[in-house]
């Protein structure tokens, strides 16, 4: 089976991990802060907190922004469950902003409309989480402008988008957000096995996230309540979580990050190959906005007729091609159906989208095989 996504592991990656396995530290050693520093240097942010996965990064981001009972968080319905679960972990409620089905990204017009109504009703969100679907950034400058008008905070869910650019700058610099979150799951652009990161330019948010990822424990004397007994003394000053990344994971991340630009370029070339070869009268790739440069985590096409889309999915599976759907609208899942909505853009997208394989190691012959099946079955 050709998977829709797959990691690329080199001898350099293996050597990097083995060097940690032979060292004195497997966790909480020098590799984690080194990985954080390199991440910041790469995207041009001030602070980075690497964690066990992107879900935990979203959670500590919400905690750092003091999301709690009675608060509201809005996100896209076309995303993985973590984008809403992070609010529910904090006791907040979730609302969904419709998307532009042509891009899969949060619609600025729909966001404006929803904010106007919420302002009138006294139900504005405390946090908005735009989702950079498939590796393309949302229109962050417009969202940031609205945040200043309506007073909400912004967490960029950039789980798909490390290496992507918005207005020629790398996603992750937090120019238009309070916090940006990356994922390092194996199918993402680079991997640490499992892992994530939360980046910010705000020292207070950094300190809070750093505390929340490690049990709420501090060794900072200025934050302690009781007399310090000795150099080994520490205190739990907040409820925290065991969301730490290991040195083993960080070593893999450092090695992978050194090839990030090459990965993005290779993914872009594969996407271009698909676009050139697919019959664009039968399928439509997600539209790329003029001021973005995708990292191409996913290559998503849309089929005009749902019945034909479903038939095509079954045909591709029968031929050993692991297509996927990113995503079922979150409001359709039983756990959060109580928030009830039916958004036209999200439904339009959901009834037409397919993710086809894209990863650095995919073979040229496999691309041609996939394209031939799609073109001949629609």
Which residues pair with residue 105 across a beta bridge? Answer: 100
pTM of the model: 0.96
List the structure tokens of 252: 């893999």
Residue 256 confidence (pLDDT) above 70: yes
Residue 95: phi, psi to the nearest 5?
Answer: -130, 160
> Model confidence over 109-165: pLDDT tens digits?
999 999 999 999 999 999 999 999 999 999 999 999 999 999 999 999 999 999 999
Which residues pair with residue 48 across a beta bridge? Answer: 199
Which domains does the chain carry?
11-257 (3.40.640.10), 260-376 (3.90.1150.10)
> Model confidence over 184-214: pLDDT tens digits?
999 999 999 999 999 999 999 999 999 999 9
Residue 170 · residue 194 · CB < 8 Å:
no
Rounded Cα–Cα distance for residues 200 and 251 (Å):
22
């Amino acid at each position: 089976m050709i998977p829709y996504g797959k990691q690329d592991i080199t001898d350099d990656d293996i050597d990097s991990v083995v060097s940690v396995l032979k060292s004195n530290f497997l966790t909480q050693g020098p590799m984690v802060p080194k990985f954080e520093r390199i991440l910041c240097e790469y995207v041009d942010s001030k602070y980075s907190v690497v964690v066990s996965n992107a879900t935990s990064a979203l959670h500590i981001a919400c905690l750092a922004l003091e999301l709690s009972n009675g608060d509201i968080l809005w996100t896209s319905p076309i995303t993985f469950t973590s984008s809403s679960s992070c609010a529910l972990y904090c006791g907040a409620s979730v609302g969904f902003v419709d998307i532009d089905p042509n891009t899969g990204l949060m619609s600025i017009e729909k966001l404006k409309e929803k904010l106007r109504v919420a302002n009138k009703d006294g139900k504005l969100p405390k946090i908005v989480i735009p989702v950079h679907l498939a590796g393309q950034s949302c229109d962050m400058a417009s969202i940031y402008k609205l945040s200043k008008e309506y007073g909400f905070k912004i967490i960029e869910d950039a789980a798909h988008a490390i290496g992507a650019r918005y207005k020629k700058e790398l996603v992750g610099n937090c120019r238009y957000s309070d916090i940006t979150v990356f994922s390092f799951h194996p199918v993402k652009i680079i991997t640490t096995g499992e892992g994530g990161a939360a980046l910010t330019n705000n020292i207070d948010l950094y300190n809070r996230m750093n505390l929340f990822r490690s049990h709420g424990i501090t060794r900072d004397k200025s934050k302690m309540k009781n007399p310090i007994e000795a150099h080994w003394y520490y205190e739990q000053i907040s409820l925290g979580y065991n969301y730490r990344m290991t040195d083993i994971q960080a070593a893999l991340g450092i090695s992978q990050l050194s090839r990030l630009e090459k990965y993005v370029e290779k993914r872009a070339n594969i996407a271009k190959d698909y676009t050139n070869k697919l019959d664009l009268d039968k399928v439509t790739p997600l539209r790329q906005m003029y001021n973005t440069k995708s990292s191409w985590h996913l290559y998503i096409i849309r089929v005009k007729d749902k019945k034909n889309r479903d038939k095509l999915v079954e045909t591709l599976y029968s031929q050993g091609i692991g297509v996927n759907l990113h995503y079922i609208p979150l409001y359709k899942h039983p756990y959060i159906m109580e928030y009830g909505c039916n958004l036209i853009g999200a439904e339009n997208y959901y009834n037409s989208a397919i993710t086809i394989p894209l990863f650095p190691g995919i073979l040229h012959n496999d691309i041609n095989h996939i394209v031939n099946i799609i073109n001949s079955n629609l």
